[in-house]
Amino acid sequence: MQSTYQLIKCTLHLADNALILSQRNSEWCGHGPVLEQDIAITNISLDLLGQAKNFYAYAAALYNGFSDDEKNATDHLIPRPWKNYGRELNEDDLAFLRDENQYLNFLMPELPRGDWAFTILRQFFFSAWQYDLYTNLIKSPDATIAAIADKSLKEVTYHLRWSSEWVIRLGDGTDESHARMQNAVDDLWMYTGEMFEPFIDEALAPDSDTKLLQQSWVNRVKNIFDEANLGMPVSGWMQTGGTSGRHTEHLGYILAEMQYIQRTFPNATW
């Protein structure tokens, strides 16, 4: 029970991060600086949504295999309004019927959209984290997690390259673009430490030593920042709480918009 419970928590964590950042990035649809990049950020949103769907589907399958007592033990993570619907849990339930304190995503994805520099830098930080993590998850003894990571890594590789190029372009661009990117660094850096708190079960990702992952991430970020003429911040106090269900006020607004239809018309299908 404990190992399966921890597996569900890790799977929800990966799904929640992808879903919330997908929702934030989708706010650029129709508002990108140029048409090509409008399409690019929208496609990245769709990639992240697909990753979230795959992880939620796996979490639902694990949950449906639980006994009633085991399901009762996870009620603080997974509510059961669908119990009255006469069906099993599915990925839509996990995305649209959980409350704010049941989401396990980092704080960074839920922050307001900001300007283009803020969005680009957040995607770069997140993709750099995903890249190393998914590389390790491919070697997971859990075949489903390994398969999702393998498929997702192809997408994340593009996300990382695309966002890296934009960080360099803006950081090493005009005075204004450089200032906006440096401001984004100053605003976002305090949210990066949470990505390296121990959360992913080592049994799920054998090479997921958080100190090694963090060092790899810092090295990658520094290399891009050097090309972009951006200064690396001095590490200091870091925001935390998302993986424990303690979120900023912004997540509630995201969920209110995202979950409105499903909660208004429960169990509706298209």
The helix or strand, by DSSP H or E, that contains position 259, with its residue range, turns out to be none
Residue 208 forms part of a structural domain:
yes
> Chain-centre distance of CA 9, in angstroms?
14
pLDDT score of 83: 58
pLDDT score of 91: 92
How many angstroms separate the Cα of 54 from the Cα of each of 11, 69, 117, 212?
9, 26, 29, 27
* pTM listed for this prediction: 0.93
For the cut 70, the answer to whether the pLDDT of residue 155 exceeds it is yes
Residue 263 forms part of a structural domain:
no
For the cut 60, the answer to whether the pLDDT of residue 82 exceeds it is no
Q: What is the mean pLDDT of the chain?
A: 90
Residue 224 forms part of a structural domain:
yes
CATH code for the domain of 78: 1.20.1260.10
The stretch 228-233 carries a mean pLDDT of 94
Residue 268 forms part of a structural domain:
no
Distance CA 244, CA 23 (A): 21
The stretch 65-81 carries a mean pLDDT of 81
Longest dimension (CA), the chain: 61
**Helix, coil or strand: residue 16:** helix
The stretch 96-118 carries a mean pLDDT of 95
Span of 24-28, 85-89, 228-232 with lowest mean pLDDT: 85-89
Structural domain boundaries enclosing 49: 2-257
Q: Are residues 238 and 125 in contact, defined by beta-carbon separation less than 8 angstroms? A: no
Residue 264 forms part of a structural domain:
no
| Band of residue 171 on the pLDDT scale cut at 50, 70, 90 | very high
* Tally of domains in the chain: 1
Residue 79 forms part of a structural domain:
yes
